[in-house]
């Protein structure tokens, strides 16, 4: 896969393009699976709790990504103009139709303002990463693995009885993301009971890019020869230029 570069606006703004190839591939997979698209409506958000709610196994209706089924989770950022709506895409079945544990993917695409400088870009990415793990829908216990990039969700019988749906949970996520400064539009894509083989490698790649990006934006030393991010910087066009610009260093 070819990764497109970060480009610099004439005024020095940082234009985020590095995730766009992964975004294109993810959207292609969702379309191929016949994703159902719903426009975000804040009045349809599912209720949230203050912290992660414990759903005991005996109280669970099913697990998304449970029983060893595949699961994947990643978040991409773009400044692409075509992302001008807030939408929930569901590829596969809605929660009310699920009879047992199924595979599960959740991908978030954030359209942001063009960042003015490294500091605002760094702060925005940090806030987005925080939000990723701090949405707590009622009766929807999320367990994440930062090493395998999986996300498993135990959904309570009571929540199913009360009408929980991915459209409503997706709306809750969108509401929280839209509160992050710089985020203009959000698209959340759920993959339910689908083959995730093509998406799983994206999560690792997105994580590598995000780590390298935060390293760069944090103003850390520019010694490529001793940097753990070298592999991703060699692969993603524009990363090195971004870190080494104005420093007169040889790449
Ligand atoms: S440009 Fe060099 S120093 Fe900066 S993150 Fe990439 S490999 Fe590391």
Q: pLDDT digit string (tens) for 18-33?
A: 888 899 999 999 999 9
Index of the ligand 1 atom closest to the CA of residue 242? 1
CA 224–ligand 1 middle distance (angstroms): 5
Query: According to the model, what pLDDT value does residue 97 have?
Result: 95
- Residue range 40-48: mean pLDDT, rounded: 96
Does 94 have pLDDT greater than 80? yes
- Residue range 100-105: mean pLDDT, rounded: 96
> Which residue has the least CA distance to atom 2 on ligand 1?
224
State pLDDT tens for residues 103-151: 999 999 999 887 777 777 777 887 888 888 889 999 999 998 767 788 9
> First-to-last CA distance in the chain?
23
**CA 63 to CA 142: how far, in whole Å?**
10
* Contact call for residues 189 and 107 (beta carbons, < 8 A): yes
**Across all residues in the chain, what is the average pLDDT?**
86
Does 216 contact ligand 1 (Cβ within 6 A)?
Answer: yes
Higher pLDDT: 238 or 230? It is 230
The domains located in the chain, with CATH, are 7-244 (3.30.1650.10)
Q: Which of 6, 208, 210, 215 to mutate to test the pocket of ligand 1 (most atoms within 8 A of CB)?
A: 215
Let me know if 147 is exposed, middle or buried by CB neighbors in 10 A (0-12, 13-18, 19+).
exposed
Percent of the chain's residues with pLDDT above 90: 55
Does 249 have pLDDT greater than 50? no
CA 106–ligand 1 middle distance (angstroms): 29
Greatest CA separation for the chain? 62
- Residue range 37-54: mean pLDDT, rounded: 94
Does 215 have pLDDT greater than 90? no
Query: According to the model, what pLDDT value does residue 153 have?
Result: 96
**CA 215 to CA 42: how far, in whole Å?**
35
**CA 73 to CA 65: how far, in whole Å?**
11
Does 227 contact ligand 1 (Cβ within 6 A)?
Answer: yes
Strand spans (E) along the chain: 7-8, 14-15, 36-39, 60-64, 71-78, 87-92, 104-112, 140-145, 150-156, 183-192
């Amino acid at each position: 896969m070819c990764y497109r570069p970060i480009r610099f606006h004439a005024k020095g703004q940082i234009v985020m393009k590095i995730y766009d190839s992964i975004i294109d591939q993810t959207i292609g997979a969702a379309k191929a699976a016949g994703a159902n698209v719903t426009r975000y409506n804040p009045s349809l958000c599912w209720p949230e709790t203050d912290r992660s709610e414990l759903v005991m196994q005996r109280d669970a209706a099913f697990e998304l990504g449970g029983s060893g089924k595949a699961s994947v989770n990643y978040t991409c950022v773009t400044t692409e103009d075509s992302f001008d709506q807030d939408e929930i895409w569901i590829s596969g079945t809605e929660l009310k139709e699920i009879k047992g544990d199924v595979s599960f993917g959740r991908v978030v695409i954030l359209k942001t303002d063009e960042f003015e400088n490294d500091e605002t870009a760094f702060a925005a990415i940090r806030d987005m990463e925080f939000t990723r793990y701090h949405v707590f829908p009622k009766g929807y216990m999320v367990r994440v693995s930062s090493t395998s990039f999986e996300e498993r969700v135990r959904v309570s019988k009571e929540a199913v009885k009360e009408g929980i749906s991915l459209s409503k949970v997706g709306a809750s996520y969108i509401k929280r993301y839209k509160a992050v400064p710089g985020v203009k539009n959000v698209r959340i894509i759920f993959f339910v009971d689908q083959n995730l083989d093509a998406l799983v490698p994206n999560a690792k790649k997105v994580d590598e890019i995000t780590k390298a990006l935060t390293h760069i934006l944090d103003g850390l030393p520019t010694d490529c020869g001793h940097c753990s991010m070298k592999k991703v910087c060699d692969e993603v066009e524009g990363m090195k230029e971004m870190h080494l610009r104005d420093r007169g260093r040889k790449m």
